[in-house]
Amino acid sequence: MATVLGGRGVQRLPVLLSALKSRPFFLFPLARPAAAFGTSVTSAKVAVNGVYLHYLRTGEGEHAVLLLPGMLGSGETDFGPQIKDLNKKLFTVVAWDPRGYGHSRPPDRDFPRDFFERDAKDAVDLMKALKFKKVSLLGWSDGGITALIAAARYPSYIHKMVIWGANAFVTEEDEMIYQGIRDVSKWSDKVKKPLETLYGHDYFAKTCEKWVDGITQFKHLPDGSICRHLLPLVQCATLIVHGEKDPLVPRFHADFIHKHVSGSRLHLMPEGKHNLHLHFANEFNKLAEDFLR
């Protein structure tokens, strides 16, 4: 099986590198201050688990929704169309920066073996600090992994969950894909600029390398598990969205999560890539809103 997956990884790698050179496949084009989203968006920090976590908040609805960003991401870089357009009467939307990312620095980002578990606890404790009694999660990529863990670990606190671009384990094919994005000098200027603006080149480059090492460490665990053992513990209603043209996360990951999260739904977007919520924002927002209702 590993040999077959590795073979597919070789085939996918040129597609991934081509995407890096042509367009930002996992980033929102510009990192913007909260004011750029409109006067109804507030930006703040709160002390959680020994660090100050930054978040954006908008809307006045009773249904609290937390947006969880991907690798190196933040609320402002990863969720522009969601912050701007999700129904503000139905939802109160919070987009957070995990510790070491975005404006949740210091500390610098590190990747111990439990970094996803740490993020899940931080995310839940942030929403509790903001006095939300129960929340739904929208998790993209690494944020989808964090959402799965949070839903499994804190089932009474999570109402519903939408995830996309997430994986519960790491294969040889995945490792090959990750190694393909290690060197940020190979990324296009269009892709690099938002993160260099947010972080500075050195922090951006070093943290990307650290992330690759951090995510590939799971390949050496039994079954390459990140959180596959936790999937049966997820109790909340779950929608898994997958872009059929995602060059970073192969389809088998979405299928596996769908199979092992009881009662979950799988929605395929034939033209979707890794950042399907950005390039097909209207379609994605309607899909998420309808599910969360």
Q: Which residues are designated catalytic?
A: 141, 246, 274
- 3-state DSSP assignment of residue 141: coil
Show the tokens assigned to 234. Answer: 């997820």
User: Other C-beta atoms within 10 Å of 60: how many?
Assistant: 10
Entry field: residues in the chain = 293
**How far is it, in rounded angstroms, from Cα 180 to Cα 211?**
12
Contact 31, 194 (CB under 8 A): yes
Rounded to an integer, what distance in angstroms lies between the CA atom of residue 199 and that of residue 208? 11
Q: Which of 89, 57, 51 lies closest to 75 in space, CA to CA?
A: 57
| CA atoms of 110 and 104, how far apart (whole Å) | 13
Element (H, E) at 206: helix 201-216
β-strand partners of 268: 242
